[in-house]
Amino acid sequence: MTFWLPLIVLFSSLVTGLIIFVLPEERSRLRTALNMAGASLKVAGVFLMAWGLLAHDVVYEVRFTMGLGFDFLLKVDLLSLAFVSLSSNLWFLTTLYAVGYLEGSPNRSRFFGFFSLCVTASTGVALAGNLITFFIFYEFLTLVTYPLVVHRGTPKALDAGRTYLWHAVTAGAVLFLAVVWLQVLSGPFDFIPGGALQSMEHLSRSDLTVIFALLIIGLGVKSALVPLHGWLPTAMIAPAPVSALLHAVAVVKAGAFGVMRVIFDVYGKDYASQLGVLDPLALVVVGTILFGSLRALMQEELKRRLAYSTVSQVSYIVLGAVALGPLATVGGLVHLVHQGIMKITLFFCAGILSEFLGIHRIDQMDGVGRRMPVTMALFSLAALGMIGVPPVAGFVSKWHLAQGGIQGGQEWVVAVLVVSSLLNAAYFLPILHACWFKAPAMDFGERNRQERGFITWREAPWTLMLPTLATALFSLAAGVFAGWEWSPLGVAEKIAAGRGGFP
Amino acid sequence: MNQMIWVVLLPFLGSVVCLLVHRKLVFALAMAASLGTLAVAAGLVAHVWEHAGARVELGGWAAPLGIALQLDGLAALFLLLTAVVGVLVGIYAGSFFAQTSELRPMGIHFWPLWLLLWGGLNGVYLCSDAFNAYVLLEISTLAAVGLTVLSGSTASLVAGLRYLLAAMFGSLMYLLGVALLYAGTGQLDFVLLSRSLTPQVHVVTAFGLMVFGLLLKSALLPFHFWLPPAHASAPAPVSAILSALVVKASFFLLLKIWFVVFDSLSGEGPGKMPGQLLGFLGSLAVVWGSFQAVRQWRLKSLIAYSTVGQLGYLFFIFPVLSFSHSPPHEALAWGGTVFHLFSHGLAKASLFLAAGCLLRAMGTDDLHAMRDIAGRMPVITFSLGVAGVSLMGLPPSAGFVAKWMLLRAVLASGQWWWAPVIVLGGLLTAAYVFKILAYTFVPSQGDAVRLQPVSLAMTFVPLALAMLCVLIGFRADEVILLLPAVPGCEMSAGGGGGP
Amino acid sequence: MDLSMVMSTFFLYSLAAMLLVGMGIYGLLTRRHLLRKVMALNVIAGGVFLLLITTAYRNQEHFPDPVPQAMVLTGIVVAISATGFALALVRRIHQRMKDAKTDPFGEKWDRS
């Protein structure tokens, strides 16, 4: 099983996706059944892997020689486990959501096919055991998300797709150059906790610095580091489940995850800080956090505001990687999970609002809390979490990041967090105020709901409400039960222990 | 090893038979000849895999007098590529030319010409002397021009004549080089020639003439002018053959001339300059060809210009291997180039055949007309996408493997200045591939073209080619193991080991 | 250098061959008429064959080398078939356009 389990986890969505492509459009029940079966199999596989790794120290490894001077390597360590369990669980929920969201719209076979391939790619990114395998899945991810972004085929969607593609493909090319260059200099190596390059003393420091810069540029586009973030707000045009996927499950996360891999497992945090490459990156990260929040403040469209919020929040993850204190590492790692579940809740809610009430802009949201109390309650919960109000998950991340900053003697981290949290509050609280306390500005008629002819569960079909409820509860639970050994925080502490002397 | 001759003879025989028999039997006989050739080619690859290369002297006459066939790893791979693409294109063509009463008479002429061309190509891969290479290359050229003008449209006639004049001029320059070499050494055999060459004026002139002639025939920028119209105006199966195979034959000969015959000349000192020049022209081709492809609005023109761009990648092997003898990155450069040949051959054939399906279904290959094709012709769109991914050099595909090895070879050789070109070419390729794909996603607003039905064979052959292109990306090992039998490698490594 | 060496048969013949090739290339590049282009190619071919035939007398002292002769024979066959084919194409194009002065190379290169 140590060989087959990672493959099962990877192929559960790949095979599902390929079968779904050839399904005729009308077979929606079969398609849903296949989708959910694949998603369940993946979740079960991931849990089995987690159990094996955490409880029995089983090493899951799949290795093929490619004949190109490197191995195709899938290897499960704690970091990959954190990402893969995030993406598999959220995929399960997002699929459910998408089934309800796209009910009756055209080209669903194509959509769900690429949806599955997209998750396959992000699983591959998570499980990749060396930089080249990582790159292969990273590029695959670009390819399979493009059809999702342009799914509606409108000129706006095509434009967004083009912007996304140019960013991602250019970044891919830069990353490719960096990966090949590194391979030429150092020979093949696998990810090693604590840094693979540390032991190779023949490498010139200037080469490594340039390669680091290229790697970060290549990964920074997907993780939306300013000024490489341009595609993310534009890609908002895609259907809500795709936004959820881009922001929380796959694309942005793959970028941030890649940055962590490079800093922790390729260079090693100590070696990277010796090289002096972390300080410039920290500057970019701080700029991104503040810039993203400021831009979010200016947005009138709900989804665009959420998008800029992602730009800012994802950089917390990278902040955890560049700040020196071990607790900051924990904070960054745990935010990988926390940001995912909170942001996906927000996007699920935004999708429900736009789909059933036609709300796209923030000034339309006045009083919507009375019309959709459950949805807006979940939205509020996640938004408060984003701001960092205890006991929701976001607080745990920010707390650890700030502690790490103090620990590493980098008090500026605390300052950045405080300013950013204030900005977060500034762009989320007015929404909450408007939706709960203002009088409705528009008539939220029943028309959309009846036209679509669903059996609704209070506010929206259960396929939409259930995933939203689940992720919101996760966000709360991750904060409340943070002290539990296997909570995201607990796992993050274990991961950090392997990478940089966490006590 | 006598089956070696059959890989040349079978297509020739098939060609003659197809001319003579009743039209109803043509397809069956042609397919029999194609499958037979595929089987023999596979046998030859297996032979190289197990025993390395082989050499056959026809009729028992030794080299200076007789004609010899030389089989090595590179030739085996070319034979295999040609046979695989040939059989699949054949299946497609059988269905393509049966579509309408206009196309049916073309089908009658397609088979003899294509089998003649195939035999000529296989001959070029196997022949081991400079003059027979000329004759076989001419046979392929004449057959290829015949195929180009198959449709008889004015555009294709003009394109065909332009192709013929350029190709004949190239061949004559090559022949002039051969004549100079023969005048100087009295040898024609590649290996014997390589042993008796000294850097004299007439030898260098001959080198220049032969390389020039072959560059003209393999359409390296700025000698590409004949290619786009010829490839774009031919019927789809013909375009696939021309783009995937025919230009590669001249390139194959160029490899042999450069790395076997003139190895001692091109390897050192003055050899650096021609190497860098070819690399420079290759870079120009990559950038200019891809850029022109981005500007096209007709699908077939776009794919044809893409060929100009993709061929440029093949020429990086010359500068990369020109700085030193048997450098450590030699295997990488060879592997990358051969993989690029494979991936481009399969992907380009797939693209042209898919374009043929679209042309059939829509009645036009204008990109603007491709509304909602992704929804209505999913298999074709998928093939376009997969083949496009391989052209871009993104994983998982043979194109990725090729780019990976080429980029590594370039960086390992210290000639980093080619690396940005390789990367930029990938970006431009992405631009034109997604230009095609983006239009397939545009939903129809009631103004979409009504689609004509496309047969199953025509739908699935492009897919098969595209999938092959992905699958061989996982089998880099075998190709690299086959390649140490490349004559160029042996020659430069061992200074001339016999066959 | 001895004048008789310079003006030897071989030198004379190869000079003539080069001249023919040069004229042919010039014609191919400058003439717009399709028929002239085909003829120019034949002139180049003539030059190449002349050079090949000359080498037959150069390497052998007393009797000619048969290999170049065989090569020239084959070459002539190839050239004839190519020329015939080209002429057929020119005739077709002429029928279509009623004016063979169109120049396939004269169009802008990047137009298809």
Task: Give me the residue from B131, B160, B172 closest to C45, CB to CB.
Answer: B172
What percent of the residues of chain A are helix, what percent strand, and what percent coil, each to the nearest 5? Answer: 75, 5, 20
Whole-number pLDDT of residue A451? 43
Residue B490 has pLDDT above 50, yes or no: no
pLDDT tens-place string over residues A179-233: 999 988 888 888 888 788 877 777 888 889 999 999 999 999 998 898 888 888 8
- Parallel/antiparallel/unpaired status of strands A71-75 and B54-57: unpaired
* C-alpha dist (Å) from residue A271 to A134, A200, A324, A412, A494: 21, 11, 12, 22, 21
Residue A132 reports pLDDT greater than 50: yes
Q: Which of A55-64, B237-246, B266-275, C50-59 has the lowest mean pLDDT?
A: B266-275
Number of domains in chain A: 1
Contact B194, B260 (CB under 8 A): yes
Contact B375 A110 (CB under 8 A): yes
Are B161 and C89 within 8 A, CB to CB?
A: yes
Predicted local distance difference test score (pLDDT) of residue C99: 53
Q: In which domain, by residue range, is A422 found?
A: 322-503
Burial A62-96 (b: 16+ CB within 10 A, else e): beeebbbbbbbbbbbbbbbbbbbbbbbbbbbbbbb
Taking CB atoms and an 8 Å cut-off, how many pairs form between chains A and B?
89
pLDDT for A446: 53
Please tell me if residue B412 touches chain A, with a CB cutoff of 8 Å.
Answer: yes
Tokens, residue B340: 């690029």
Whether A363 is in a domain gets the answer yes
d(CA A323, CA A279): 9
Q: Do B160 and C89 touch (CB under 8 A)?
A: yes
Q: Which of A67, A69, A161 sits opposite B438 (nearest CB)?
A: A161
Q: Tally Cβ neighbours within 10 Å of residue B452.
A: 13
Would you state the pLDDT for residue A59? Answer: 83
Using CA atoms, how far apart are residues C112 and C92, in angstroms rounded to an integer? 19
Closest Cα in chain B to C105: B162
Q: What is the mean pLDDT of residues B187-193?
A: 86
Q: H or E element: which one contains B54?
A: strand B54-57
Torsion on CA atoms B400, B406, B409, B413, rounded to nearest 10 = -140
Chosen from B404, B440, B442, B482 to mutate, greatest number of chain A CBs within 10 A: B404
E strand or H helix at B70, and its extent?
strand B68-71
ipTM of model over 0.90: no
Tell me what pLDDT residue B135 has. Answer: 94
Q: pLDDT tens-digit profile of A358-397?
A: 888 888 888 888 788 888 889 999 999 999 888 888 888 8
Mean pLDDT of B332-338: 90
Tell me which residue of A145, A122, A119 sits closest to A39, measured CA to CA.
Answer: A119
B165 touches chain C (CB under 8 A): yes
pLDDT (mean) for A101-129: 88
- Using CB atoms, which residue from C37, C58, C93 is nearest to B158? C93
pLDDT band at C112 (very low <50, low <70, confident <90, very high): very low
* Cα-based torsion angle of the residue sequence B339, B345, B351, B352 in order, rounded to the nearest 10 degrees: 170
Partners of B127 in beta bridges: B69
A145-154, A409-418, B475-484: segment of lowest average pLDDT: B475-484
For the cut 80, the answer to whether the pLDDT of residue B2 exceeds it is: no
Given a cut of 90, whether residue B295 has pLDDT beyond it is yes
The whole-angstrom separation of Cα A168 and Cα C12 is 65
Instruction: Give C58's pLDDT tier (boundaries 50, 70, 90).
Output: low
User: What is the reported pLDDT for C37?
Assistant: 92
Contact yes or no, A with C (3+ CB pairs under 8 Å): no
Per DSSP, B259 falls in state I
Instruction: Give the H or E element holding residue C60.
Output: none
Q: Which residues contact B296 (CB under 8 A, 6 or more apart)?
A: B302, B305, B432, C112
3-state SS, A123-155, equals HHHHHECCHHHHHHHHHHHHHHHHHHHCCCCCH
> How far is the C-alpha of B296 from the C-alpha of B365, rounded, in Å?
11
Q: B483: which strand partners?
A: none
The strand ranges marked E within chain C are none
Interface contact B180, partner C, CB < 8 A: yes
Q: Do C68 and B176 touch (CB under 8 A)?
A: no
Tell whether the torsion through CA atoms of B241, B245, B249 and B250 is positive or negative. positive
pLDDT at B493 over 50: no
- Name the closest residue on chain B to residue A144, using Cα atoms: B385
User: Is A58 within the bounds of a domain?
Assistant: no
pLDDT tens, residue by residue, B340-360: 999 999 999 999 999 999 998
Task: State what percent of residues in chain B have pLDDT above 70.
Answer: 93
Q: Is the pLDDT of residue B492 over 70?
A: no
Which residue of chain C is at minimal alpha-carbon distance from B169?
Answer: C41
Query: Quick one: pLDDT at residue A370?
Result: 79
Give the separation between CA A438 and CA A433, rounded to whole angstroms. Answer: 7
Do you find a cis peptide bond into B396, omega within 30 degrees of 0? yes
Three-class secondary structure assignment of B320-369? HCCCCCCCCCHHHHHHHHHHHHHHHHHHHHHHHHHHHHHHHHHCCCEHHH
Q: Which chains have 3 or more CB–CB distances shorter than 8 Å to chain C?
A: B
pLDDT tens figures, A282-333: 999 999 999 999 999 898 888 899 999 999 989 999 998 888 888 888 888 8
Residue keyed to tokens 């380009």: B348
**Contact present, B209 and B172 (Cβ < 8 Å):** no
- Residue A382 is predicted with a pLDDT of 92
Chain B CB contacts of C34 below 8 Å: 161
Residue B419 pLDDT > 50, yes or no? yes
Q: Where are the domains of chain B?
A: 269-499
What's the rounded Cα separation, in Å, for the pair A87 and A141?
A: 13
Coil vs helix vs strand at A64 = strand
- Beta-carbon separation of A176 and B375 below 8 A: no
Q: Does B408 touch chain A (CB under 8 A)?
A: yes
Band (pLDDT 50/70/90 cuts) for residue B156 is very high
The predicted model scores a pTM of 0.89
pLDDT tens digits along B94-137? 999 988 888 888 888 999 999 999 999 999 999 988 999 999 99
Per-residue pLDDT at B269: 47
State what percent of residues in chain A have pLDDT above 70: 95
Q: Are A463 and A100 in contact (CB under 8 A)?
A: yes
Q: Would the pLDDT of A455 be above 50?
A: no
The pLDDT of residue A502 is: 43
Task: Name the minimum distance, in Å, from the CA of A75 to any CA of chain B.
Answer: 19
The residue-averaged pLDDT of B297-324 equals 91
Q: Which two tokens stand for residue A112?
A: 């769900």
B265: confidence class by pLDDT, cuts 50, 70, 90 = low
Task: List the Cα angle B255/B41/B4 in 5-degree steps.
Answer: 80
Out of C47, C93, C112, name the one closest to residue B232 (CB): C112
Token pair in block for residue B257: 């001339």
Q: What is the pLDDT of residue A503?
A: 39
**Domains of chain C, first to last:** 7-97 (1.10.287.3510)
Cβ-defined contact of C82 to B159 (cutoff 8 Å): no
Is the pLDDT at B498 greater than 50? The verdict is no
pLDDT over 90 at A437, yes or no: no
Q: Count chain B–chain C contacts defined by CB atoms under 8 A.
A: 101
**CA B259 centroid distance within chain:** 18
Nearest to B237 by CA among B343, B86, B76: B86
Residue with tokens 């169009």: C107
The answer to whether A438 contacts chain B (CB < 8 Å) is no
Report CA-CA distances (Å) from B103 to A189, B22, B352, B355: 56, 17, 17, 17
What is the distance in angstroms between the Cα of A182 and the nearest Cα belonging to chain B?
A: 10
For the four alpha carbons of B382, B384, B387 and B393, in that order, the dihedral sign comes to negative
